[in-house]
C-alpha cells in the first residue's frame, strides 16, 4: 500500500521513487491529480538528473481546456513495491500522479489538512 497525506492546500501528496536508466534513484513527492489521465509528470530538471530517455511528443489538454505539446520520456517508478516502466510527461509543475498510474488501485483520501491518503492495489 502507498500512503501519503493531504497538505494545507487540500492536495493529496504521496512519496514515490523514480529510477533512471542507469539506476539513478530519486525520492519525490507527487500530488494525486484525478484530472490528469497520464501516468506521472516531472519537471525538466528532474528528468535531466535522472537521464530519462525521450520517447515522443504528444498533445495534452490542460485543465483550462487549452492544448499544449509535451515531451514524453520513459522511466521506472516503484509502485506498490514493484518496479513499473511508465511514460513520464515533462511539465513545469509539482510532480503529478495521474489516473493511468492509479489504474487498478483503490484511492482513499481524507480531505482535510494532514488527512490520510492511501492507494491499494486491487484486482477485479
pLDDT digits (tens, 9 = 90+) for 86-96: 999 999 989 99
Under 8 Å between Cβ of 74 and 7: no
Domains in the chain (CATH in brackets) are: 11-103 (2.40.70.10)
pLDDT value of residue 124: 64
Distance separating alpha carbons of residues 99 and 27, to the nearest angstrom: 20
Question: 10 Å Cβ neighbour count for 115?
Answer: 15
Q: Which residues of the chain have pLDDT under 70?
A: 123-124
Amino acid at each position: 500500500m502507498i500512503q501519503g497525506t493531504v497538505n494545507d492546500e487540500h492536495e493529496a501528496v504521496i512519496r514515490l521513487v523514480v529510477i533512471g536508466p542507469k539506476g539513478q534513484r530519486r525520492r519525490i513527492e507527487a500530488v494525486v491529480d484525478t484530472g490528469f489521465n497520464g501516468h506521472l509528470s516531472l519537471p525538466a530538471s528532474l528528468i535531466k538528473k535522472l537521464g530519462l530517455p525521450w520517447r515522443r511528443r504528444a498533445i495534452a489538454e490542460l485543465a483550462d481546456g487549452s492544448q499544449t505539446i509535451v515531451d514524453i520520456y520513459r522511466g521506472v517508478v516503484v509502485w506498490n513495491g514493484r518496479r513499473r516502466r511508465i511514460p513520464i510527461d515533462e511539465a513545469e509543475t509539482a510532480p503529478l500522479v495521474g489516473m493511468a498510474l492509479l489504474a487498478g488501485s483503490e484511492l482513499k483520501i481524507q480531505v482535510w489538512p494532514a488527512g490520510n491518503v492511501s492507494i491499494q492495489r486491487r484486482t477485479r
